[in-house]
Amino acid sequence: MKDRIAEVVASSLGIVTSELLLEIPENQDFGDYTTSIAMRAFADKSLLEKLPESVRDSKDPYDLASSLVVFLEEKTDLLNYVEKILAIKPGFINIWLKDEILVDNLIHISKKHYYYGSSDIGRNKRVVIDYSSPNIAKRFSIGHLRSTIIGQSLYNIYEFLGYKVIGDNHLGDWGTQFGKLIYMLKRHPLESVTVEGLEKLYVKYHQLAKGEEKEKMDFEARAWFAKLEKGVPMAREIWRKCVSISMREFNRIYDLLGVSFDMMMGESRYSNVLKRLLKNKHFLSYLSEGEGGAKIIDLQEYGIKTPLMFLKSDGTTTYAARDLACIYYRIRRFEPHVIIYEVGKEQTLHFKQVFAAARKLGWAGDSIILHHTAHGLYLSPSGKKFSTREGDVVNLEEVLKEAIRKAGEIINSSKTARDIPEKDLERITNDIGIGAIKYFDLKHAVGSDIVFDWNKILDLKGNSGPYIQYTFARTNSVLEKAKEKGFIVKDLEYCDIEVLRLDLTDEERDIARLLFHFGEFVKKAAVDFSPKVICDYLFALCQRYNSFYDKYPILKEKNSKKKMFRLKLTEDIGWVIRNGLRLLGIEVVERM
């Protein structure tokens, strides 16, 4: 509906929908939709001149908004489905839908169930999402947790909108650090065959590489990486071992998180593409000589002062070269409309360079959206950066297990959780613990830093995963009680629309309105690359339902039509929470 109204309003006013900026106000007092077009047009002459002549000589933004309202009422069919359009000071135009549209939608929700809120706007379009992408021989850090969680959620959201999504784990399995590691592994036996063991060996390399020794060691390590790039079997063999030790641990974390990928094309997989590029005359014509004989791609015409380094002076490839080969491969293989890189903000320059180079080389046309999400960091409760270097080591697997343990405490102290059957207990505890971690990550704006705080992660009263899951469990228990009392769910599913067309209380309308907007928020989450949009939405919905629940009778309501309506609302809220959480990669629990 949002797209339709935006289209009708914008085209009748002679502008495009991106100029109209139709929004959904938080509070229904300000309409179901609103636009600030009058205020903006009043301040911007070029925009004003696009509007119909009859409205142009207004004395202030409110006056302009009022004339636009009259124009819309006369010249469009909006009033067929819109209850009212009002100009509001200082110059907003607010639009309210007819109640019957909101009520009809309640039937629609339970018919569409799992698909409610989905769409086919992505039909025949492909999106590649690069996420998680941890580094081999290093522990899976809390930094990669963000990428894993946000990336998976964006995957779910785009898929729900009909896009063909390709999820790729771009493992950091190549680079000069492997030369150092091979150097060490040739001399020092591994203390323990774990990623931690590999990481320690790498640290030891840097402890040993001091003074004169350093030059010798670095020289040899570089030689090992060069051998690796050439495919020398002994180097390959050691490297492969590092990869398999690491993947064993990473897969445990993916299992805990319930995350999976369509492909895991690590950096190492692009050596053939790189070889081919380095033989391609057209490509070579873009390379120029950098400092010390390095090969670079100049990007000044894109306003980027630092060129992209493609080959180091010793002829080995760089991280950027591998990303460039990768983008070339992705564009040719998938013809994507969007490529999303779910990577931290510390790599902002890197992605600017890679994107600009892909444009300069003519690989990525203007129609392809290249997006780097640039997520923020996790900060420790003391506000410091979580890092492995400062010894402030955070073992991710331990963090996840701790979340599950704490979820167990919630369950133990909950009265309503008492009748959870023994066989479901472990699953439910897992889903609450992991859900809490995921939700806490996703509810923050992607770009902002996050202070890790157990109290907030598990806060049953605030904006948290357990709170949303709890609200779902509540809708579930209301429906179960209704069933016990002989209320037939089928009746609810196919109930007569007329039964629902009652006078709505403000709270009922407010909930019906939010339910109506669900699909529109899903689209916004995709366009903004922001699962937070869905968290905010779910939190608002759950708060509304919980205060409704406290204020109004549902099963005890005497008027049977009202009762039916409230049960329907309850059922639909359940569907929308379920679908919303699924997009965030979080399971619902039927009891807690």
Among 122, 172, 179, 519, binds ligand ARG (CB under 6 A): 172
Quick check: 146 binds ligand ARG (CB under 6 A)? no
Question: Between residues 6 and 145, which has the closer beta carbon with respect to ligand ARG?
Answer: 145
Q: Is 341 a binder of ligand ARG (CB under 6 A)?
A: yes
Closest by CA position to 166, among listed 324, 333, 328, 322: 333
The residues in 221-240 that bind ligand ARG, with binding defined as CB under 6 A, are none
Task: Find the part of the chain contacting ligand ARG (CB under 6 A) among 130-138, 449-457, 487-495, 559-567.
Answer: 130-138
CA-closest candidate to residue 220, choices 198, 235, 200, 199: 235
Q: Residue 319 or residue 549: which is nearer to ligand ARG going by CB? A: 319
Q: Long-range pairs for 369-372 at CB < 8 Å and ≥24 separation?
A: 369/337, 369/338, 369/339, 370/327, 370/338, 370/339, 370/341, 371/338, 371/339, 371/340, 371/341, 371/529, 372/341, 372/343, 372/347, 372/348
Is the Cβ of residue 250 or residue 440 nearer to ligand ARG in the bound state? 250
Alpha helices in 443-559, H assignment, sequence order: 454-457, 465-484, 489-493, 497-500, 506-527, 532-551
- Told to check if 173 binds ligand ARG by CB under 6 A, we report no
To ligand ARG, the closest distance from the beta carbon of 346 in angstroms equals 8
Identity of the residue, 161 or 327, whose beta carbon is nearer to ligand ARG in the bound complex: 327
Pick the stretch among 104-112, 127-135, 230-238, 397-405 that binds ligand ARG (CB under 6 A): 127-135
Tell me how many residues contact ligand ARG (CB under 6 A).
8
Q: The dihedral of CA 569, 570, 575, 576: what is its sign?
A: positive
Residue with smallest beta-carbon separation from ligand ARG: 172
Of 323, 431, 571, 587, the residue at the interface with ligand ARG (CB under 6 A) is 323
26-45 binders of ligand ARG (CB under 6 A):
none
Binding range to ligand ARG, per CB under 6 A, among 128-136, 178-186, 511-519, 539-547: 128-136
Min dist CB 170 to ligand ARG, Å, is 4
Q: How far is the CB of 379 from ligand ARG (least distance, A)?
A: 18
DSSP-derived secondary structure letter, 188? S
Question: From the CB of residue 282, how many other CB atoms can be counted at a distance below 10 Å?
Answer: 9
Q: How far is the CB of 343 from ligand ARG (least distance, A)?
A: 4
| Buried/exposed code over 397-421 (b: 16+ C-beta within 10 A; e: otherwise) | eeebeebbebbbebbeeeeebeebe
Cα separation, 34 vs 330, in Å, equals 40
Q: Which of 39, 55, 343, 356 binds ligand ARG (CB under 6 A)?
A: 343
The answer to whether the CB of 214 falls within 8 A of the CB of 180 is no
- Among 170, 180, 544, 566, the residue binding ligand ARG under the rule CB under 6 A is 170
Among 32, 130, 229, 587, binds ligand ARG (CB under 6 A): 130
Q: Which two tokens stand for residue 585?
A: 């990669």
Q: Work out which of 35, 67, 105, 135 binds ligand ARG, going by CB under 6 A.
A: 135
Q: Tokens at residue 124, please?
A: 């025949």
Residue at 155: amino acid letter: Y
Rounded Cα distance between 441 and 451, Å, is 10
Q: Find how far residue 379's CA is from the centre of its chain.
A: 20
Residue among 117 and 172 whose Cβ is closer to ligand ARG = 172
Residues that bind ligand ARG (CB under 6 A): 130, 133, 135, 170, 172, 323, 341, 343
